[in-house]
Every structure is written in structure tokens, then in C-alpha cells.
Amino acid sequence: VNTLVRPPVVVAAIAGVFLWILSPDILWAAQSEALPSGQDVRSFFGLSPRGTIWVVAQLHLLFAAFVLGVPIFAVIVEFIGWRTGDQRYDHLAREFIKLQTVAFATTAALGGLLAFTLFGLYPTFSTYFVSIFAPSMYVYAAFFFVETGILYSYYYSWDRLMHHKGIHIPLGVMLNVAGTILVLIGNGW
């Protein structure tokens, strides 16, 4: 098989870009760690705590943006398929929601990892942060479970509601509303 780009080249290119993006933080962040005395900050296997938080937070935010955008696209495509009667649109929307279930789980895992790294590396700051934002954190957790329930209802009811798009599409709209509320709550922090 003759390909334009060989797999080792692609892997090397991705690794190079990843290192290029992370190198300034990994190399120089530790030098600028002048902290006031008495502040409780820990390192992660000798790495900069700021760098560690940055990497985990960035990964979580990238997946979160994907998780917010895909349902918007899927509902629009499903609606177009319903109105035109073209099953290709419905199939495309369903494939995106199938991908969404995996991306949602990954985003949730990265969010949990972000919470653990914040609490582990910056315990004093995390205690202060939670003391201020605890009420909205409870609402955030509730909407996370609401969004999870709607997402899986939307995905698993696809076949059952194939001929009842007037019921199924509003589920997708509700999924988007719940996701948007989650983002708005998180942005308030």
C-alpha cells in the first residue's frame, strides 16, 4: 500500500507538536514559582504544579468544547434529515451521538482528574475556592447528572423514536440546553 504519510512520521509529528507546546511550561514554569511563605503547594513527580494543572485543564476544556458542540451539530443534522426525509442525515447525526457518548465519558474522567490535581497540588487554594463556590458546585453536579441522563436517553431512544422525531429532537434540544447551563455555571467560577 502506497501512502503519502507513513504512520511513524505522523506519530513523530504529533509528539513533536505536543512537546513544542508543553516545553515552555515544563522548562520555565518551575523557575517562576516564587510563592509567598506559608502557601501550601505541592509538585507532581517533580513537575511544576502549574504545568500539571495547565495540561489537565487544557485537555478537559478541549474535550468539553467538543462535548458541547457535537450535540448542537447532531440535532441540526437530525432535524434536516427529518424535514427532507433523507436517512443519510439521520445516520450521520446518530454516528455523532455515538461518538459523543465516548467523548462525554472522557471529558468526565478528565474533569475528575482536574479536581483531584487541584485538590492535591493546591489544597489551601482549593479549600478557599470551594468555600466561595460550593453552592454553584452542587448545582453543577446536579446538571452533570441531568445532562448524562438526557444524553443516554437521546442515544438509546434513537431506534425506538425513529418515526417520532417530534419527540426525539426535543430530547436533543434539552441535551444542548443542559450542556449550555453546565458551561455557564463553570464559567462563573
What pLDDT, on the 0 to 100 scale, is given for residue 35?
44
For the chain, what are the domain ranges?
A: 47-187
- pLDDT band at residue 8, thresholds of 50, 70 and 90? low
Q: Determine the Cα–Cα distance for residues 95 and 174; give it in Å rounded to an integer.
A: 19
Reported as a single tens digit per residue, the pLDDT across 89-124 is 999 999 999 999 899 999 999 999 999 999 988 888
Report whether pLDDT(37) > 70. no
DSSP at 89:
H
- pLDDT band at residue 21, thresholds of 50, 70 and 90? low
Report whether pLDDT(48) > 50. yes
What pLDDT, on the 0 to 100 scale, is given for residue 160?
93
Mean pLDDT of the chain: 83
Reported as a single tens digit per residue, the pLDDT across 124-141 is 888 888 888 888 888 899
DSSP at 31:
G
Q: Determine the Cα–Cα distance for residues 10 and 18; give it in Å rounded to an integer.
A: 12
